[in-house]
Amino acid sequence: MKLSEIITIDKEILGGTPVFKNTRVPVQSLFWHIESGISIDGFIEDFPSVTKEQAIQLLTFSEKIFTTPELIRLYESAA
């Protein structure tokens, strides 16, 4: 799944804050829920306009970003 199928960034929607596609739910809200110990199912209960698939795909995409060799090299060169 492409990132553009998971999130939308549009200045007309919450001033350009990344939101789940076809919603006004900020992506950051998923991470805040997880940081607070709330499950994905709990997040979906709070934001029923977001599908469980969207939430899981976003987490999968995030994991790929942080495990790419390019990011690791960038981090090492900046440290």
Encode 10-56 in three state secondary structure.
CCCCHHHCCEECCCCCECHHHHHHHHCCCCHHHHHHHCCCCCHHHHH
Query: Is residue 2 very low, low, confident or very high in pLDDT (cuts 50, 70, 90)?
Result: confident
What's the predicted TM-score (pTM) here? 0.81
The amino acid sitting at 5 is: E
CATH number of 3-78: 1.10.10.10
pLDDT of 51 reads 95
pLDDT, tens digit, 9 for 90 and up, residues 42-72? 999 999 999 999 999 999 988 888 788 877 7
pLDDT, tens digit, 9 for 90 and up, residues 16-31? 999 999 999 999 999 9
Angle value at C-alpha 67, between 13 and 75, nearest 5 degrees: 90
